Chains A and B, each alone.
Chain A
Amino acid sequence: DTEVTQTPKHLVMGMTNKKSLKCEQHMGHRAMYWYKQKAKKPPELMFVYSYEKLSINESVPSRFSPECPNSSLLNLHLHALQPEDSALYLCASSQAGTGYTEAFFGQGTRLTVV
C-alpha cells in the first residue's frame, strides 16, 4: 500500500475562518511533507516533519500551522488566510534519515480562500 490520504479534497473558506487539512499514511514512513502548488507551477516545499518533529519550515507565514500528532498523521491548521493562499495543498511521505527514498503524494486539497 503506497497510499497517502488527504482530506478534504476541496475546501472553501473565508478569510476569518479556521480550518484544518488532514493527511494520513500507513507505510511506516517517518518523514512527512506539506507542499503548496499554484496553477502551472511545481510543488513548493512548506514544511518537513522527521520522526514527528518539525525539521524544516521554509519561511512559511504563521497563518499556516503544521502539526504531526503521531507517525501516521499530519495536519495543517489554517487561520486568517488571504485569497493568494488559494492553491492545491499536497501532503507527501517517505522514509526518514537517509535521503535515498521514494516520496509518495496524496491527491491534494484544493483550497479556495474567499
Chain B
Amino acid sequence: GQQLNQSPQSMFIQEGEDVSMNCTSSSIFNTWLWYKQDPGEGPVLLIALYKAGELTSNGRLTAQFGITRKDSFLNISASIPSDVGIYFCAGQYFRGGSEKLVFGKGTKLTVNP
C-alpha cells in the first residue's frame, strides 16, 4: 500500500527559528494535507494542497505540493512555543470507489523559549 516517508522524525529549535519538514512517497496522491496534533487530541488540519506545484500559506505556515504529486513540504517561520506538537503529513487518493487517507510517521517539534 501507499507509504509516506516523513522527515525529520524530531526537531529541537529555539523560539524565532524557521522550521522545515517534508514528506515523500513512491505513490501519487490527489491531495496532500498537513496536520498538527497535541497530546491526547485529534489532528487539526493546517493546510490542504490540491494541485501539483501549488504553494499555499496559512499565517506563518507555508506548504507546497510537489510537481510530481509524490512529495510535499511544510515550513513554519518565526516559531513560537505554541508550535510545539507533532506534525503529520497525509496523502489522500481515491481508489475502488472510496477515499483513503494515509499518514506519515510524524515530526515531533520542540521549541525552546
Contact = CB atoms under 8 A, between A and B. Distances in A.
* Range of interface residues on B (Cβ < 8 Å): 20 to 34
B48 interface: yes
Interface stretch (A68-76, A77-85, A103-111): A103-111
A98 B94 CA distance: 6
A14 B33 CA distance: 36
A110 to B, nearest CB: 7
A35 to B, nearest CB: 9
Contacts of B99: 31, 48, 50, 94, 96, 98-99, 101, 103
Contacts of A107: 41-42
B2 to A, nearest CB: 11
Contacts of A103: 33, 45, 90, 92, 99, 101
Contacts of A105: 35, 42-45
Interface in A25-74: 31, 33, 41-43, 45, 48, 50, 55-56
B103 A99 contact: no
Given A100-B50, A108-B40, A55 B97 contact: yes
B103 A43 contact: yes
Nearest to B38: A107
B88 interface: yes
B31 interface: yes
A93 to B, nearest CB: 10
Contacts of A21: none
Interface string B72-95: 000000000000000010101111
A6 B43 CA distance: 13
A102 interface: yes
Those 8 A-B pairs whose CB atoms lie nearest each other, nearest first: A99-B94, A55-B98, A42-B103, A105-B42, A99-B30, A107-B42, A102-B48, A50-B98
Interface of B: 30-31, 33, 35, 40-45, 48, 50, 88, 90, 92-106
Interface of A: 2, 4, 6, 31, 33, 41-43, 45, 48, 50, 55-56, 88, 90, 92, 94, 96-108, 110
